[in-house]
Amino acid sequence: MDYSKMGGARGPKGAPRHDEHNRKGTAKNPYGAKPSKAELLARMKAAAKATQKDA
């Protein structure tokens, strides 16, 4: 068999063609962006304070 006539190797199966468009939290796809550490800490402190008031 003449392998030189088969063409190039196929890319990985199931991989997105343009990762920069599909990556979460970028300018093109703002959905699913991770909150910053300061926002997360503030939210956790507020939740802890709310549960402390209830008890």
What are the structural domain ranges in the chain? 21-55
Position 55 scores a pLDDT of 63
Task: Tell me the one-letter amino acid at 17.
Answer: R
Continuous H helices in the chain? 19-22, 37-54
Q: Name the DSSP class of 9.
A: P
Q: What's the pTM?
A: 0.42
pLDDT in tens, 4-52: 777 777 777 777 677 766 677 676 776 777 788 999 999 999 999 998 8
